[in-house]
Amino acid sequence: MAVTLSERAASHITNFLAKRGKGVGIRLGVRTSGCSGMAYKLEYADEVPEGDEMFTSHGVTVFVDPQSLSYLDGTELDYAREGLNEGFKFNNPNVKDACGCGESFNV
């Protein structure tokens, strides 16, 4: 079971964390909500969350809570640019279908 970052995502996160001035890594998760059942969570982690699984990818520490991990296993977090917009993208092999915009999904 693992979650990884693309190189581009990792370098952005490293940069963000440095400018933010605090934080030990990022924390990924899923929760039940949204039009297709599940939604991603993407947050900074200021301290090591208890009970979380911990991964290191391209030098960035990634925390995932155990319940979420079953839905996120094999996911690669990427950083993408679409026109003027830019941000993070979950490439999650577990997703069966997603809503139009992809913000919520089903496994």
Tell me which of 51, 82, 96, 97 binds other proteins, using CB under 8 A.
82
Nearer CB in complex with other proteins: 31/58: 31
| Local structure of 52: helix, strand or coil | coil
Return d(Cα 50, Cα 67) in angstroms, integer: 13
Residue 44 interacting with other proteins (CB under 8 A): yes
Tell me which of 2, 34, 94, 107 binds other proteins, using CB under 8 A.
34
Q: What is the enclosing helix (H) or strand (E) of 72?
A: helix 66-72
| Local structure of 1: helix, strand or coil | coil
Site track 49-78 with other proteins (rule: CB under 8 A), x = hit? ------------------------------
Phi, psi of 25 (to 5 degrees): 165, -160
Joined tokens for residue 80:
């993408």
Question: Which residues in the 10-29 window bind other proteins by CB under 8 A?
Answer: 12-13, 16, 19-20, 26-27
